[in-house]
Amino acid sequence: MTTPAADLADPAAYAEAIETAVKAAAAYYATGDSALDDDAYDRLVRGIAAYETAHPDEVSADSPTGKVAGGAVVGDVLHTVPMLSLDNVFGTEEFTTWVASVERRIGRPVEAWSVEPKLDGLAVAARYDQGRLTRLITRGDGVAGEDVSHAIGTIVGLPDRLSEPVTLEVRGEVLMTTEQFEHANTERTQHGGAPFANPRSAAAGSVRAKDRQYRVEMTFFAYGALPPADSGDLAGSMVELPHSQVLELVGRLGVHTAAETAVPPRTVTAVDAVQVRVDEIASLRTELPFGIDGIVIKADSAADQAAAGSGSRAPRWAIAWKLPAVEKVTRLLAVEWNVGRTGTIAPRAVLEPVVIDGSTVTYATLHNPADIARRDLRIGDQVMVYKAGDIIPRVEGPVAHLRTGEEEPIAFPELCPQCGSDIDTSEQRWRCVRGRNCHIVASISYAVGRDQLDIEGLGATRVIQLVDMGLIADFADLFTLRADQLLALDRMGRTSTDNLLAAIEQAKAQPLSRVLAGLGVRGTGRSMSRRIARHFATMELLRAADAEAVQQVEGIGVEKAPVIVAELAELAPLIDKLITAGVNMTEPGATPPAPGAEAEGGLAADAGPLDGMTVVVTGAMTGPLEKLSRNQMNELIERAGGKSSSSVSKRTSLLVAGEGSGSKREKAEQLGTRIVTPDEFADLVKSLLDQTD
C-alpha cells in the first residue's frame, strides 16, 4: 500500500514541511528521538517531493529530498566510498516501475536479485586492518560520519578480530533486540535516565554514549562490505563478487549477517519471486527478536550494480520496499485496570486514536505496574506504540523529550478494581487476593470455551445467570446441574435444557490436556497443557510432582515450575470436585513417565506416526479434517507423537497445506520440506482421527 503524501498547498506550507522534516531527520539520525514516527516522516517527505515536482522553480536548498539522512546530519570522518541511503517503494506497482527503470539503465534484464530484511537500526561502517577492528563510523551525511569507536566491544556480531587477517570495511546496522532493549531501559532508569522510546533510539543513543556509568549490549548485522582502495589481500577480490557472495564471505570471517536468522538474505532470478520473498519476510515480522521496517532488494551482480550506478543520495540498483508502519507516536490519555479470570490485575493504556498497520488503535497493553514505573510513564505523555499483525498493541515507552511538564503520574489501585478486596503485590503481576473467585464469570466462561471443555450452549450470558442464581460457584458445579434448575432460567426450554445437559455430560470425557487448559493454571496455555498432560499422563501423577519433576516438561524452566506446582495446590478443591463429578483425568495415548525419565517421558511406547516430527498446518482443511479447529489439529499432531508449530523453518518436518496456503507453502518448497494435503495427512493419522471422531 502506497504511503499517501502530505498535501502542501502553498509555499508557506512547503517551507514549514521542510523545517519539520529536517528537524525530525536530525533527531532520528542523531539519537533516534524524533517527534515524527516513520510513517509521518515518509508522508511529509513525499509531500515535499510532490510539491517540488509541481513547482520546480521553488525547490529550496534546504529540502531533504535527494540527500542522505535528509541532509540533517554531518560528520568529521570521511568515508572511503559514499555511504548512501536507499530510495523507497511502498507496493508492487512502484516496485515494478523501479525494476523497469533499472533494466532500462543497464540495457538488459537484471541477472539476479538479492532480497533481505531492512533492519531498523543505526547504519555504521566498521573498518578492519589486518583482521583487527580499528574504527566505527556512523553514516552521517553519506560523505563523512561520526567516529564512535568507543563503542567497540559492546556490539554482538562485530568481533574485535576476524577469523582471517584481512583488511576491509564492513557496513551494516547496529540495533537492539527486544531482550537487549528491555535490559537497556532497566539499566538506564536505574541510573536516573529517562527510558528509551524504542529499540532504535536506544541503539542510536548507546552507540554515541561515551561517559555513561553503565554499558549496554547491542547487535550488529552486516549488509555489505568493501575493500580499501589499496587492498591487495583477500578483500581485494570482493569488488567483483556478487552481493550474496560478499555476505557469505563476511559471515565466514565471523561477522553477523542475517543468514542465521528467520529472514536470511535470498537470491532469486525472477521479479515475481521477489514479491514472494517480500511476503515471506513480512509474514515473519512479528516473530523476529529485532525490528525491521521493510525489505531491501538489490541487484546481486557486481556488473549490474556498476552498470546501474548511483545518484547523490542512493544507489540506483537497490531499493527499500517499506512495510506498513507498526510504530506510531500518540498520547496516553488514561490507564484502566482490568481483572482477568485468574484474578490478575492488568493495566491497559487508553490512547488518543491512531492508525497503525491498517487499523485504529485506542488501547494498548502495559504489562504490569513495575513496567509502568520502570518506563516512567505519565498520563499525557506522547508514547511510542507498537503493533504488528494480530499482536495486541503495546506501549514501548514515553517520548520523554516531548514532555511539556503538564504530564501527571499514573495512579495505581489500592484495592481490587473488580471486587474491592486487597491486592497481592508480591509479584510483578498484581493479583486480587480472591484469585479466581474475584472474576468467576470470566473463569468459568474460559473453562467451557471451544478449546477447553467445549461445552456448547454456555455463553457468557448463561454463565452470568447461573452464577447470579447461586447455581454454580466454579465450573465443577456445572456437572451437578439438574434439569429442573436449568428450566427455571429465562429462555430455557426443554430442548435447550436437554442439549446443554448432554454437552456437559460429553465434556466429562475430554482429555486431561483440555481439563488442564480449563483450569487456567498460570504459566500454561493450550500447548503447554498438552505437553504437561502427555508427560504425566494422569492428574494423580501431576499433582504428586514437585517443581523439579515439572521442570522435565519441555518449555518449563526453573521460574515457571514452582508457579505451576503452587497453582495446582491452590486448585486442589476444584480438582477434587471435578474428580468426584466423574470428569476424566487421564490423557489418551500417554503413559506415565518412568522414574528418571527425561522431558519427553510420558509418550506411549508406540509413540505414533509423527514421532519426533515438527508439523505446521496452513490453509483451510478439507475432507476428514474439515471440521477440526486449529487447536484440534494441534492436539491431533501431538497425540500422534509430533510437535505442532506455527511457522516453517529448517526444523519443520512436515507441512499440511490446505486450500489457500500461501507463503508458508512457498517457504516449505524452498527448504525442501515434505508437504502433504489434508487427505494425505488424515491417512497418516487415521487411527487417531477415528478416535477424535
**Residues taking part in catalysis:** 118
Cell of 692: 477424535
Q: What's the rounded Cα separation, in Å, for the pair 172 and 189? A: 29
Q: How far is residue 286 from each of residues 258, 386, 391, measured CA to CA in Å?
A: 16, 11, 8
* Sequence-ordered list of residues with C-beta below 8 angstroms from that of 539, at least 6 positions apart, any chain: 512, 515, 575, 579, 585, 586
Q: What's the rounded Cα separation, in Å, for the pair 271 and 269? A: 7
Other C-beta atoms lying within 10 Å of the C-beta of residue 92: 15
* Sequence-ordered list of residues with C-beta below 8 angstroms from that of 304, at least 6 positions apart, any chain: 106, 110, 111, 317
Q: Is the CB of residue 7 less than 8 Å from the CB of residue 47? A: yes
Q: Is the CB of residue 667 less than 8 Å from the CB of residue 266? A: no
Q: 107-131 burial, b if ≥16 CB within 10 A, otherwise e?
A: eeebebbbbbbbbbbbbbbbbbeeb
Q: Going edge to edge, which strands form the sheet with 122-129? A: 132-138, 122-129, 168-175, 218-226, 155-156
Cell of 172: 551494516
Cell of 593: 513417565
Residues β-bridged to residue 77: 145
Cell of 266: 535470498
Q: Which residue is associated with the grid cell 560523505?
A: 143
* Chain mean position to CA 669: 24
Amino acid at 196: F
Q: Is the CB of residue 653 less than 8 Å from the CB of residue 673? A: yes
E strands, 100-237, are 113-119, 122-129, 132-138, 144-145, 155-156, 168-175, 218-226
Using the Cα atoms of residue 679, residue 680, residue 682 and residue 683 in order, give the sign of their dihedral.
Answer: positive
Q: Is 631 helix (H, G, I), strand (E, B) or coil?
A: helix
